[in-house]
Amino acid sequence: MAASLSRRLRRVPLSVWLAGLMAVVIVAAAALAPLIAPFDPTDLTSFNLIDAELPPRFSPDGDPRFLLGTDNQGRDLLSAMLYGARVSILIGGGAVMVAAVVGVGLGLIAGYFGGWVDAAIMRFGDIILSFPTILLALLVAGVARMLFPAASSAEWAPFILIGAIAIHEWVQYARTVRAATMVESARDYVRAVKVIGLPSRQIMLRHILPNVMGPVLVIATINLAAAVLTEATLSFLGVGMPPTYPSLGTLIRIGNEFVFSGVWWIALFPALLLVLLVLGVNIVGDWLRDLFNPKLRGRG
């Protein structure tokens, strides 16, 4: 098993290498934003309204200080994008983590105990899934907006976003893990530890969990891209990150207001970065999914 996995890893297609590299570069640049970004967009003293809406450096009216131009408040767009990607990835990653932990936990419990516990958890998941992702996230974010003071929105907004996205995503983990847990529970090694008399918690965490984690990693990768997109959508709709701490979605929303007045760069560059990030993560995720799919083994 381990040997065949490493052999298959050695035959990674070029497209996946490139996609992975692209995703890693973007994530690294976002992580190192304070070191590599020319300006700090969160520092109010570092930008000036006089510089607002300057086009990128390579266009005729460009300013040599701003590689990709500036936004409507005179912030360097490149710096804002790097910091924005950082916010997007943190929220996306956070949402995936929360959803995975909740979903895997509930899935294990549902699959292991079965009966009414299983029915209750999974029917609740069905109800959650019958709401569209964005609608549910809008509801959560909207209600939270009413409850918390607007002044400190930069502090609580990320956590609200993580919760709003995770509330929908956990169901997918729960369903996958529940099915895998039911299969593993019926296998003799689990029956053996039941006969030994180990407590359920120990059987679930030590014996079943490691054997159902494969698909979870795949879903997590694919969902990371989806979560980043959902965050961008929410921010675009104005219930996400505030303009003072913009995510990629917030930048696109700001830019959207200027697109028709010829100021195309504020929307285009953040959108491009978002597309590249999501594409890279998705390609890697799809490949991982095929790698773990026994039905596709031995092809190509």
Partner 1 sequence: MSAVAPILAIDRLRIEYPLADGGVLTAVEGATLSIAPGEIHALVGESGAGKTTIGNAVLGLLEKPGRIASGTIALDGQPFDPQKPGAVRLGRDIGAVFQDPMTSLNPLFTIESQIVETLRAHLPLDRAAARTRALELLKAVGIPEPERRLSAYPHQLSGGQRQRVVIACALACEPRLLVADEPTTALDVSIQAQILDLLRGLADERGIGILLVTHNMGVVAQIADTVTIMHRGHIVESGPVAQVLRHPQADYAKALIGAVPRIDIRLDRFPMLDGANQTEAGAARDQLRAKALAVGDPSSGRDVPLLSVDNLSVDYGAGFLAGRGARAFRAVDGVSFEIRQGEVFGLVGESGCGKTTIANVVAGLRAPTGGTIRFDGQVIAGAEAAQRKGKTRRAIQMIFQDPYSSLNARMRVGRILAEPILFYELARTQAEAEADVGLLIEAVGLPTEAAQRFPHAFSGGQRQRLSIARALGARPRLIVCDEPTSSLDVSVQAQILNLLKDLRDATGLTLLLISHDLAVIRQMCDRVAVMRAGRIVEMAAAETLFTAPQADYTRQLLSLVPTLERIRGEV
Q: Does 12 bind partner 1 (CB under 8 A)?
A: no
Q: How far is the CB of 85 from partner 1 (least distance, A)?
A: 36
Is residue 270 within 8 Å of 81, Cβ to Cβ? yes
Chain mean position to CA 40 = 24
> 161 in helix, strand or coil?
helix
CB 138 to partner 1: min, Å: 35
- Binding pattern for the stretch 61-100 against partner 1, x by CB under 8 A and - elsewhere: ----------------------------------------
Interface residue with partner 1 among 13, 34, 38, 210 (CB under 8 A) is 210
Please report whether residue 123 would count as binding partner 1 according to CB under 8 A: no
Determine which residue in the list 196, 261, 294, 300 makes contact with partner 1, applying CB under 8 A: 196
Task: Please tell me the distance from the alpha carbon of residue 173 to that of residue 193, in angstroms, as a whole number.
Answer: 25
Whole-angstrom distance, CA of residue 198 vs CA of residue 75 = 60
Segment interacting with partner 1, rule: CB under 8 A, options 13-21, 52-60, 196-204, 263-271: 196-204
- Tell me: does residue 35 bind partner 1 (CB under 8 A): no
Q: Distance between terminal CA atoms of the chain?
A: 19
**Which tokens hold the place of 199?**
């407590």
With a CB cutoff of 8 Å and minimum separation 6, the contacts of 6 are none
Give the contacts of 24 (CB within 8 A, at least 6 positions apart): none
**Cβ of residue 66: shortest distance to partner 1, in angstroms?**
53
Nearer to partner 1, 190 or 239 (CB): 190
Of 123, 187, 201, 297, the residue at the interface with partner 1 (CB under 8 A) is 187
Residues 6+ apart with CB under 8 A from 161: 91, 95, 137, 141, 231, 234, 235, 240, 241
CA-derived radius of gyration, the chain: 23
* 294 scored as a contact of partner 1 (CB under 8 A): no
- Candidate ranges 76-84, 111-119, 137-145, 174-182; the one touching partner 1 (CB under 8 A): 111-119
Q: Which residues bind partner 1 (CB under 8 A)?
A: 1, 7, 115-116, 119, 187-189, 191-198, 207, 210-211
